[in-house]
Structure 1
Amino acid sequence: MRLWLSILAVSAANSLLKATGPLALGDRRLPSTARRVVALMAPVLLAGLIVVELAGPGWHELDGAQVLGVGVAGLAWAARAPMLVAVLVGAAAAAAVRLL
């Protein structure tokens, strides 16, 4: 019972926080600087999650093959390869380094 009350409370708080922005702004638009910051929040959070997942919370679990695989996948994606191809190339690079 306590779990469901917690879930309900977190859901209500989340809905209130999401509604605060449109209620506070009304018909006005965000300044261009704020729009750029908001647009960059998702990629920055994703990059932070990837770094923590690769290195671990204390940087003790850093694996060179994984870092190389993510780097190769990033380079392949930057070279306009489709996402699936970039992931497969990164996985192949990490597997090749582990075999050596």
Structure 2
Amino acid sequence: MSPAMTWVALVVASAVCFGLKLAGHLVPEHWLAQPRVARTAALVTVALLSALVAVQTATTGRHIVVDARLPALLVAAIALALRAPFIVVVVLAALTAAGLRALGMS
């Protein structure tokens, strides 16, 4: 792909994102106040974040991999379940991944 095409794609994607954001602000407020819409919006946020975490944890390129990231995610989930502060969750997950990588797990 040429640099010019990359810039065109970037500008078009930015315009689409801006349009979606603007459309969200133009939706009447009483539509968003309905319980079904609020519940759906909350679930979509959780689903998108979960999908992002799953893809970033268990894939490399087009391949599914099991490496030090998966146990680190498990440690983070347990720490969150135990209501540890966020910084503690991050440090525990990082230490787990670093420790497993030091032991030879890629």
TM-score by length of 2: 0.69
Cα deviation digits, residues 6-46 of structure 1 (max 9, x gap): 333222222222222333x3242322112111122223212
Give 5+ residue unaligned stretches, structure 2: none
The reply to whether residue 62 of structure 1 matches residue 66 of structure 2 is yes
The share of aligned pairs that are identical, in percent, is 33
The reply to whether residue 7 of structure 1 matches residue 10 of structure 2 is yes
Aligned residue pairs, count: 97
Task: For 2:11 and 2:98, locate their aligned partners in 1 and report how far apart those are by CA, in whole Å.
Answer: 44
Is the CA contact 2:57–2:73 (under 8 Å) kept in the aligned structure 1?
Answer: no
Q: Which residue of 2 aligns with 1:82?
A: 85
Task: For 2:41 and 2:6, locate their aligned partners in 1 and report how far apart those are by CA, in whole Å.
Answer: 32
Q: CA RMSD in A?
A: 2.5
TM-score by length of 1: 0.72
Q: Secondary structure at the match of 1:28?
A: helix
The Cα of 1:97 is off from its aligned counterpart by 4.4
Aligned-partner residue type, residue 42 of structure 1:
T
Q: Which residue of 2 aligns with 1:29?
A: 31
